[in-house]
Amino acid sequence: MLWPRQAYIGGSASAGTSIIDTPLSKPDQFFSALQAAFADGSLVRIALRAYVGDHEALKTVDIKPVIIKRQNQLSFTWHYKTRDVVKNHDLDESMETLRGIVGIEFNLAQLFTTAGDWSLDFQGKSPKLKQSAATQTAPVSLAHDRAKARAIPAGKPWLRDLGVTDAEGKVIPSAQDKFRQINRYVEILGPLLKAIRPDRLKRVVDMGSGKGYLTFAVADFLAQTLQSGAQVVGVEMRPDMVRLCNEIAGKVGLAQLGFAQGSIADYDSAGASVLIALHACDTATDDAIAKGIAADAELIVVAPCCHKQIRREIEAAAASTPLDYLLRHGIFVERQAEMVTDGIRALLLEAHGYSSKVFEFISDQHTPKNVMIVGERTGRGRNAAALEKVAAAKAFLGIRRHYLETALGLE
Ligand SMILES: C[S@@+](CC[C@H](N)C(=O)[O-])C[C@H]1O[C@@H](n2cnc3c(N)ncnc32)[C@H](O)[C@@H]1O
How far does residue 218's CA lie from ligand 1's centre (Å)?
A: 16
Model confidence at 22, in pLDDT bands (50, 70, 90)? low
How far does residue 210's CA lie from ligand 1's centre (Å)?
A: 5
Domain segments of the chain as ranges: 6-132, 157-407
Cβ(60)–Cβ(81) below 8 Å: no
How confident is the model over 353-375, as a mean pLDDT?
90
pLDDT surpassing 50 at residue 5:
no
Residue 238: CB within 6 Å of ligand 1? yes
Burial 142-171 (b: 16+ CB within 10 A, else e): beeeeeeeebbebebebbbbbebbeeeeeb
pLDDT digits (tens, 9 = 90+) for 284-338: 999 999 999 999 999 999 999 989 999 999 999 999 999 999 999 999 999 999 9
pLDDT of 148: 61
pLDDT of 300: 98
**Minimal-distance CA residue to ligand 1 atom 13:** 208
Q: What is the pTM of this model?
A: 0.68
Instruction: Name every residue whose Cβ is closer than 8 Å to that of residue 333 and which is 6 or more positions away in sequence.
Output: 311, 314, 315, 318, 327
How far does residue 212's CA lie from ligand 1's centre (Å)?
A: 10
Model confidence at 68, in pLDDT bands (50, 70, 90)? confident
C-alpha distances (whole Å) from 279 to each of 109, 369, 372 are 47, 7, 10
The domain defined by 157-407 folds into Rossmann fold (3.40.50)
Residue 343: CB within 6 Å of ligand 1? no
Residue 308: CB within 6 Å of ligand 1? no
How confident is the model over 107-131, as a mean pLDDT?
95
pLDDT digits (tens, 9 = 90+) for 125-153: 999 999 999 988 887 776 654 456 789 99
The type of residue at 222 is: L
pLDDT digits (tens, 9 = 90+) for 232-249: 999 999 999 999 999 999
How far does residue 236's CA lie from ligand 1's centre (Å)?
A: 6
